[in-house]
Amino acid sequence: VLEVDDLPANTFLSLRYGDIRKQAPFRAGESFAFPPSGKQPKAFTVDVFQKVASSQVSLAGISALGGSLNNVEIETLDIGSAPLKASFEASLRSFDHQEKSGASRGRNAAERAKQYMEQRGVQHFLQEMFTQLLERKPEDYLGFLADFIEQKQDEADHADRNEIDFSSEPGLGENPLPGFAAFPLPDLGKHNSIATEVLRAQPEIEQLADLRTSMGVSLAQCIKPGVDCPGHPMVKVAGAFAGDAECYSMFHQFFDPLVASLSLKGSVRSGDGATHPLDGDVSKISSDQIDPSGSYVVYAVLEARRNVEGIRMPVSCSKEERREVEKLLSSARLRGTYLPLAGSKSWPKRLGGMAAFQEERLRKVGMLLTEPDSKLKLAAGFGRHWPDARGVMVCDAPGVFVWCNEEDHYRFFARQEGSEIKELYERMAKTMSAVSEAATMAGRAFASSSKLGWLTTCPSRVGAALRVTLTLRIPLLAKAVELPALCECLHLHCDSSSSAISGNLWQIHSLSSLGVSEVEVMNEMIQGCKLLVGLEQRLERKEPIFDALPGLGRELPFSPLPCQGPCPEAMPDLAGCRSLVAASLRVNPKLYLQYRSLATSSGTHLGVCLRPAFDRDVGRQKTASGLVAGDEECLDTFRDLFVAVHGQLQALQASWEPPRGSWTSVELTSSCQWVKIEMRRNVSGLRFAPSCSTDERREVERLLVRCMENQKAVTGQYYPLAFSQSYPLMPNGINQQEERHLVRLGKLFPAPHALGELSSGVGREWPDARGAFLSDGTADDGCETLAWVNQADHLRLRCFVPGGDMQLAYRKVQGMADNIETELNSLCSRGFSRHAKFGYVTVDSLHLGSGMQLTAAMQLPELSQLEDFPKLCARLKLTQTWHDDGYELSSYPAPELKAEDLLARTLQSLRILAGLDQSLADGQNVQPDLEALGVI
């Protein structure tokens, strides 16, 4: 038998040829051999038998009970059917029984044992336990038996449970959860959902308050969960749900920015001809194998969501609408069993819902949908009329099931072990097609729009409305790289929650939905996970992996802007982008049109400079420019962009300067643990990291290492990164163990992992021609100096000094820079890149000017307790970060200040903090000082 299409699960093929019948489970290419006979039949008969129930019955058990066994439960394979019961009798016909002495006593003992085991159900219990033991053959058989007994005890404890009445539970009965019901909005200042961010940013949205969709849904119903639940600043949720398909168009002023913020693409297509792709053609899905060996992909789950057009979504639907959704699903031509939730009285064929044993089976395998228990979901309305018209369609297709009326009308699932997700998607697609046909027969269809694709209740799922999850075993890769950052580059998401990670197992999810089709989601997942598995295999072989990582090899992560050639005519959407240059482009989009086709004489185009601006994480946590220079000429070719960022940085500085007064005499020695100064420089005439060639990067390394080796004031050694092949004295770099040790000490730099950095191109061809020049030991004055080569800028100098002598650190680092520049000029008539307006040129426009940042680690036990401490630091132009047992305070970017002026201002700010802390320790009132500083 070569092939059988659409064969149900648990079936056998039976072939009868003449008087002989043979049967077996179907396997492609299976042979059925028949012996020759005198008369050859002209045809054969094919039957397909389906196994409906199966149990193993012990002959030893029957013998112990005197040859018979009554009421044996045979577990059915159909989850919707109760176990079958059967009785058996067994005997050995040819055995001549010779009754021995004491036989009567033996029969009595057997009878008593039989009676006890029948009364207590022991025989069935033992039979089930040993059957499962032999089927699964666990390594830890004692643990398995203990778990089985504990599970049976739990079942017995819950066997007599009473049905729960949800009608009186808030949010689960007829009425919605009490809370926000109509405009005007309350104060949303302390709310943290994305929906409330949109509402705060666009107060004109309140003008939509009186609008209703054709089915009567208001905007207030959609935003109720976000208004009722302030949430947490570290856990951003959407905070709004669509009440019907029309909400996305009726309230588009609200939903468009919300969807854009939740989308990987960061924008919503609009305008003439903007059509969202919808394509579920299985033949277009890649047949590439993710894990041919079967050693890395443990489990696969697919989930798709659909809603029925013309019926309100679960947020606002009536009981009758919900029952219509259930009726459509149960009427679909699907092989399987529909099981309403226990207590549901909506489906005539199973009033009261599924049986207890069915509910328990579904719970064990993770297929049971349960009542919403979070305030957010209850406020949204997902629990109304619970459990009416909710249920699970368990399909005969292996691993496929459907949830009815949970968050969406339908949630389709397909699960299985291994990595064959194309086959898995095909099974799920057939199920979706059957339900779609049932909707069509009823004059309805799945809800979609040309702008947003498939429409879902949650705005984060619109588009392809498909999520793919693979559980991967990739322990070496997880240790070697920042796995979440790598997955983000691949448009995937790696769960970092403890529930998603178990030992060496990681759950990898598809991230794209808006703007892509189902086929694109599947192919993106296949290629991404195939890469992850390949990287794990390379690490097992102890091979470097950087060349295969987006942003660390030759290829950069996806960006709407190209690395070479002109940028697109229309500027990509900057919704949700928070960098300084993104803000400038939103205010003046003509800058993009002005420069999109230009390039420097060395071939650096605008796309290279602007790629970080379109990463929505850039600028989310701290001030970021989003604008990089590919060479020194960029500052003239794209001058107005750099001027715009320069102007914003100057505006952050304002015109305020810290008062000198009595603070100048404050000593930093007692409160300062250490100080550090970093200085960034680039070699003139050579392109910078975002644009340079391999040869240019290696030339930078050759020149700078030679300059540092020629210094007399500082002696040391150059350490190329592991696997770097550019330094002749160490052709494969230092070993990995030594590299990890130096990175932990802060003396060597790791590979970049933030998407903004990778997108800018600073990590290309990692780790080639990169390393650190470390001074030998610590100088007599306690200074530690080092120089990083080709980390982001060509050269990054650092001087670390214990205590508070920041002027000493400045003299050291400035002296190193001057000596290196002198050597450069002597070697090749080059110097450090400078611009007449912007000062020293750096890759990141944030550091233009002096190219210097000053940091001090301080202990401020009294001052840091004040509520206004962060505001005070900002007023003094310092960023503050808690680290170990103190604060690290760093200078703001100051492009308009010379190095000496930045040093003086930072020292004065640090002295003010130290003086105020000492005043508080002495019991003095610092309120007048804070007022004088403009803090209160």
For 628-641, the DSSP string reads: B-SSTTHHHHTHHH
pLDDT value of residue 153 = 64
Mean pLDDT rounded to a whole number for the chain: 87
Residue 832 pLDDT exceeds 90? yes
- Average pLDDT of the residues in 438-447: 96
Judge contact between 700 and 789, C-beta under 8 A: yes
pLDDT at residue 97, rounded to an integer:
46
Rounded to 5°, the CA angle 816-765-528 comes to 135
Tell whether the model's pLDDT for residue 103 goes beyond 70. no
Q: Which of 180-194, 695-709, 761-775, 871-885 has the lowest mean pLDDT?
A: 871-885
pLDDT in tens, 418-439: 999 999 999 999 999 999 999 9
Q: Residue 271: what pLDDT?
A: 45
pLDDT digits (tens, 9 = 90+) for 630-657: 999 999 999 999 999 998 888 776 555 6
Tell me phi and psi for residue 921, to 5 degrees. -65, -30
Contact yes or no for 307/315 (Cβ under 8 A): no
Query: What is the DSSP-derived secondary structure letter of residue 346?
Result: -
What span, in angstroms and rounded, lies between the C-alpha atoms of 34 and 334? 36
Residue 204 marked ligand-binding: no
Q: Are 930 and 936 in contact (CB under 8 A)?
A: yes
The residues, any chain, with a CB within 8 Å of residue 901's CB and separated by 6 or more, are 894
Say whether pLDDT at 709 is over 80: yes
Among 44, 51, 43, CA closest to 7:
51
Could you tell me the two tokens for 3?
Answer: 């092939």
pLDDT at 51: 80
Residue 855 is assigned to a ligand binding site: yes
789 is annotated as contributing to ligand binding: no
What is the rounded CA–CA span in Å between residue 127 and residue 121? 10
Which amino acid, 875?
Answer: R
Bridge partners (DSSP) of residue 852 are: 679
φ, ψ dihedrals at 365, nearest 5°:
-100, 10
Name the maximum alpha-carbon separation found in the chain.
120
- 468 annotated ligand binder: yes
Mean pLDDT of 769-782: 83
Mean pLDDT of 613-618: 81
Buried b (16+ CB within 10 A) or exposed e, 375-384: ebbbbbbbbb
User: What's the rounded Cα separation, in Å, for the pair 2 and 21?
Assistant: 19
Burial code (b: 16+ CB inside 10 Å, e: under 16) for 468-501 equals bbbbbbbebbbebbebebbbbbbbbbbbeeeeeb
Q: Which amino acid is it at 671? A: S
Residue 365 DSSP label: T
The whole-angstrom separation of Cα 381 and Cα 342 is 20
* pLDDT over threshold 80, residue 63: no
- Of 159-168, 401-410, 770-779, 812-821, where does mean pLDDT reach its minimum? 159-168
DSSP annotation string for 256-294: HHHHHHHSSS-----STT--------GGGS----S-TTS
Gap between the Cα atoms of 485 and 506, Å rounded: 14
CA angle 97, 101, 102 (to 5 degrees): 105
Q: How many CA atoms lie within 13 A of 558 on its CB side?
A: 12
CA 196/CA 477 separation, integer angstroms = 38
Give residue 411's identity as a one-letter amino acid code: R
Residue 467 in marked binding region: yes
| Residue 569 predicted with pLDDT over 80 | yes
pLDDT of residue 882: 86
The kind and range of the H/E element at 222 are helix 219-228
- 713, 819 contact by CB (below 8 A): yes
Instruction: Take residue 367 and report the two structure tokens written for it.
Output: 């297929």
Is 497 annotated among the ligand-binding residues?
A: yes
Asked whether the predicted pLDDT for residue 1 surpasses 60, the reply is: yes
Does 303 show up as a binding residue in the annotation? yes
Beta strands 492-494 and 795-802 are unpaired
**Measured distance CA(791)–CA(798) in Å, rounded:** 13
pLDDT at 66 > cutoff 70: no
- Pick the range with the lowest mean pLDDT from 171-180, 379-388, 678-687: 171-180
Rounded CA separation 623/629 (Å): 18
Closest residue by Cα to residue 364 from 604, 86, 186, 147: 147
Per-residue confidence (pLDDT) for residue 95, from 0 to 100 = 43
Question: In this predicted model, which residue has the larger pLDDT, 261 or 885?
Answer: 261
For residues 450 and 275, is the Cβ–Cβ distance under 8 A? Answer: yes
Mean pLDDT for 799-819 is 94
Output the pLDDT for position 498. Answer: 46
For residues 735 and 721, the answer to whether their CB atoms sit within 8 Å is no
676 marked as binding residue: yes
Whether 500 has a binding-site annotation, put simply, is yes
| Residues 174-192, mean pLDDT to the nearest whole number | 90
Residue 510 pairs in a beta bridge with: 492
Q: Consult the annotation and say whether 300 binds a ligand.
A: yes
Strand partners for 683: 832
In this predicted structure, the answer to whether residue 272 has a pLDDT above a threshold of 60 is no
As a whole number of Å, the end-to-end CA separation of the chain is 85
Least confident interval from 104-118, 673-687, 816-830: 104-118
Calpha distance 224→241 (Å, rounded)? 9
Q: Give the pLDDT confidence score for residue 828 in this predicted structure.
A: 93
Q: Which residues pair with 446 in a beta bridge?
A: 308
Amino acid symbol at 873: C
Confirm or deny that 532 is annotated as ligand binding: no
Q: What pLDDT score does 79 carry? A: 66
Rg value, the chain, Cα: 35
How much is the pTM? 0.71
Residue 299, annotated as binding a ligand: yes
Q: What percent of the chain clears pLDDT 90, i.e. is strictly above it?
A: 57
Those residues with Cβ within 8 angstroms of residue 526's Cβ, 6 or more apart along the chain or in another chain: 285, 286, 288, 290, 421, 422
How would residue 115 be classed by pLDDT, with cut points 50, 70 and 90?
confident
Tell me the pLDDT tens digit for each residue of 750-760: 999 888 888 89
Question: Would you say 856 is a known binding-site residue?
Answer: yes
CA–CA distance, 278 with 196 (Å, rounded to integer):
30
Residue 470 assigned ligand-binding role:
yes
What pLDDT is stored for residue 857 in this prediction? 94
- Distance (Å, rounded) from C-alpha 403 to C-alpha 341? 10
Confidence of residue 265 (pLDDT cuts 50, 70, 90): low
Collapsing DSSP to helix, strand or coil, 471 comes out as strand
* 478 labeled part of a ligand binding site: no
Residue 811 to residues 15, 597, 677, 786, 805, Cα–Cα distance (Å)? 92, 44, 10, 14, 10
Tens of pLDDT, residues 723-750: 999 999 999 999 989 999 999 999 999 9
CB 510 within 8 A of CB 524: yes
Which residue's structure tokens are 């004031």?
713
pLDDT of residue 481: 84
498 is in an annotated binding site: yes
**Tally of CB atoms within 10 A around 58:** 15
